[in-house]
Amino acid sequence: MDPNLRTLTVCAVPGVPLVAPGDDLGALLVAALDAAGVALRDGDVAVVAQKIVSKAQGRYAYLDEHPPSPRARALAEATGKDPRLVEIILSESSEVVAHGPNLIVAEHRSGHVMANAGVDRSNIRSDAGRERVLLLPEAPDAACESLRRVFERRFGVRVATVVSDSVGRPWRTGTVGLALGCAGLPALEDLRGRPDLHGRPLEVSLTALADSLAAAAGLVMGEGDEGLPFAVVRGARWQGPPAPARALLRDRELDLFRR
Amino acid sequence: MDPNLRTLTVCAVPGVPLVAPGDDLGALLVAALDAAGVALRDGDVAVVAQKIVSKAQGRYAYLDEHPPSPRARALAEATGKDPRLVEIILSESSEVVAHGPNLIVAEHRSGHVMANAGVDRSNIRSDAGRERVLLLPEAPDAACESLRRVFERRFGVRVATVVSDSVGRPWRTGTVGLALGCAGLPALEDLRGRPDLHGRPLEVSLTALADSLAAAAGLVMGEGDEGLPFAVVRGARWQGPPAPARALLRDRELDLFRR
């Protein structure tokens, strides 16, 4: 559209291969950008799906290696889930926030609250007949910072990075993209103190920039067999210093939806 | 970026004037598109901020016209909010889901759960010294369908529409865009039954398309004095028949975060 209008472009980058533990993810993503003819520019945001970050980190867990504890058995009984899977979910969690039929909502050790503490059974090949699941990445903000440096070195510009996941939400059906980690941008943009249209300070003026970018990227990354775990957002604007996705976690004491 | 890549463009459309009750919103938006030189194309999604839909509908409430009921007084006492404002929030709500200091999370009559049942004090000029607030639009899905028809008549192509709002969420700080209404697209895209990368049916495969579009549009619409309540998303793809934003509301019985 008109280049004079405020425009954001979200572009899926094809060519990312299946990722295996120990792979140099930064190098794979740079290779995909090169093959697609996309040179990152100043202000671009590279959005990377959680799955490939976790796979590169080798964050697999094997069901047969996690004999369920009594607590896992009780929660499996209450939810109808596989007790071994529940054991893995509990080992990844700092708190079970709620549970119901076939659903456990838990706070992952990173602080993100989501179904099954982010433990994922989809897109996971069984390994020599052994069932395995994929866990959330370790230290997603640090993983973003590491990727950000790879991109900056390669392209010589200032870029930002987001590691995204698709999550469900209370009260609403369907998943949206969410930022597990970010670097080079303020995860939470603070517009407090800026006047509204009528010169009155904005009441609600913290925007979840990183989550919005993850949701936008989700529109081109897709799920399932499309296999596009990498996108570039061009034209996003923000103000304020970088802050990690950890800044998006609401204080437990201020949260009405924690016990 | 490369036109061969899967690309989504989100463009803020300037030139929407301040909207007053009774204004023909469709005509104002078409005029803004014309002035910006944007001709809608097949598959475009027009995203319209809730505020201007509500303003065109004249959805103002005056605090001095809502003497608080005993129930509103009690909730005002518990939350520290203005009892007249609480009266308005209750009159807009079918259920108070939770409350805390300066916060009421309520199910609006439309079914959307959000802070203050969507009652908004920002960007609202006081009217001859009388304090007023802006309520959510009536029948947002129908408003979208009406706008969709205006755009299709004007541009002769198939377009979709979303009415968006910025909302807070449990567990996370900051607001993201969310769809209060939509037309011409499936609010919820059902990918169940499609195989994942390894031929296994996707477990989590309902994506909140309309919410994701609203979040993406929020990145260019901005808050506060920027005043860009209208955006066009080009390049979004979906499958399945249109379904309204009502399809995004989770059944109360299946929701762990309702009483």
Name the pairing type of β-strands B160-169 and B45-49: parallel
Summary count for chain A: helices (H), strands (E)? 6, 12
Ranges A73-87, B199-213, B237-251: which has the least confidence: B199-213
Is the CB of A18 inside 8 Å of chain B's CB atoms? yes
What homologous superfamily is domain A60-134 in, according to CATH?
Answer: CofE-like domain (3.90.1660.10)
Q: What is the ipTM of this complex?
A: 0.94
Is the CB of A130 inside 8 Å of chain B's CB atoms? no
Is the CB of A171 inside 8 Å of chain B's CB atoms? yes
To the nearest whole Å, the CA of B233 is away from the closest chain A CA by 9
**Mean pLDDT rounded to a whole number for chain A:** 91
CATH of A9-57+137-251, one of 3.30.1330.100, 3.40.190.10, 3.40.50.970, 1.10.1660.10: 3.30.1330.100
**CATH 3.30.1330.100: does it fit domain B9-57+138-253?**
yes
pLDDT given at position B190: 84
Backbone φ, ψ for residue A195 (5° rounding): -75, 155
Is the CB of A257 inside 8 Å of chain B's CB atoms? yes
Is a pLDDT exceeding 80 seen at residue A227? no
Angle between helices B70-79 and B83-92 (to 10 degrees): 110
Average pLDDT over residues B136-157: 98
Helix (H, G, I), strand (E, B) or coil at B217: helix
Average pLDDT over residues A66-78: 97
Cβ–Cβ under 8 Å, residues B161 and B182: yes
- When CB atoms are compared, the residue of B170, B196, B216 closest to A122 is B196
Q: What Å distances lie between residue A222 and A76, A231, A232, B34, B74, CA to CA? A: 31, 10, 14, 32, 47
Is the CB of B259 inside 8 Å of chain A's CB atoms? no
Enumerate the domain spans of chain B: 9-57+138-253, 60-134
To the nearest whole Å, the CA of A142 is away from the closest chain B CA by 19
To the nearest whole Å, the CA of B94 is away from the closest chain A CA by 14
Cβ–Cβ under 8 Å, residues B215 and B209: no
pLDDT given at position B71: 97
Is a pLDDT exceeding 80 seen at residue A225? no
Which of B180, B219, B230, B239 to mutate: most A Cβ within 10 Å? B219
To the nearest whole Å, the CA of B100 is away from the closest chain A CA by 7
User: pLDDT tens digits, residue range B29-51?
Assistant: 999 999 999 999 999 999 999 99
**Could you tell me the pLDDT band of residue B215, with boundaries at 50, 70 and 90?**
very high
**Chain A residues with beta carbon closer than 8 angstroms to that of B247:** 173
